[in-house]
Amino acid sequence: MSRILLIDNYDSFTYNIFQCLSVLKLGTFNPDIDVIRNDKITVEEVRNKVKEKDGYKAIVISPGPGRPSDAGITMDLIRELGPSYEQGEEFWPGVPILGVCLGHQAIGEVFGGRVILAPEPIHGRTSPIYHQGKGIFAGLPSPFEATRYHSLVVELETLPEVLQPIAWTAGDGLIMGLQHQEYKWIQGVQFHPESFLTKYGQQLLQNFLNLVSNPTDYESAVGGWEV
């Protein structure tokens, strides 16, 4: 059994993400997906489920209203379960995490970036997204059109060295994708891959599941910043 936890930040797009993921492959199987709201489960409960034999293989964090600090356990989940660490005789390998929109912003904030107002709010418009074809963007053309619904962005100027932009907009150079440099399995996208107006959104989500199935691929997953 392949299970994924989808954290619902009280957003109408959450079940669109669910539908997209449910038809993809995690290894050789379609994943079982648990959709749980951000205040209906604790970090420790998630940790325990990850440890189970058929536990969560990855966490996807949905879009949502407000700021990352408003999103229940979202930031604590990233902070406590994303990184790998050793504690005594216990080794925690880190859980692959994909943040979408608010989830992406939460990744930025957890690791030291600032979330600020975007130059202009974008709601239901498409933009060309540029990238270098690494990680979750493998095999996707650059640029490709993606749907954006957001008024906040992770600020480039305060982005810590541990986070690398892996996707961006032309001209204004707004961060559209992030990846942790050490914990490469922690990634985020500002746009909405689940939207039918986003080209190659399904492939991007499948790329994430492929990386979950083949952790060694993360070593070659990091791209670079080039506006």
Strand ranges (DSSP E) for 66-211? Answer: 85-87, 90-92, 97-100, 115-131, 144-154, 163-169, 175-180, 186-189
In angstroms, rounded to a whole number, what is the distance separating the alpha carbons of residues 19 and 202? 10
Angle at 207 between CA 123 and CA 102, to 5 degrees: 30
The phi and psi torsions of 79 (rounded to 5 degrees) equal: -65, -40
Query: What is the Cα–Cα distance from 68 to 126, expressed in whole angstroms?
Result: 23
Is 101 one of the catalytic residues? yes
State pTM to two decimals: 0.94
- For the CA atoms of 164, 167, 170, 171, the dihedral, rounded to the nearest 10 degrees, stands at -20
pLDDT tens track of the chain, all 227 residues? 689 999 999 999 999 999 999 999 998 899 999 999 999 999 999 999 999 989 999 999 999 999 999 999 999 999 999 999 887 778 889 999 999 999 999 999 999 999 999 999 999 999 999 998 988 999 999 999 999 999 999 999 999 999 999 999 998 899 999 999 999 999 999 999 999 999 999 999 999 999 999 876 655 554 443 43
Residues with Cβ within 8 Å of residue 196, at least 6 apart in sequence: none
User: Residue 145 catalytic?
Assistant: no
Residue among 80, 157, 192, 219 flagged as catalytic: 192
Domains and CATH numbers, the chain: 3-220 (3.40.50.880)
- Of the residues 101, 104, 109, 131, only one is catalytic, namely 101
Active site residue 194: yes
Q: Report the alpha-carbon distance of residue 123 to residue 193 in Å, rounded.
A: 14
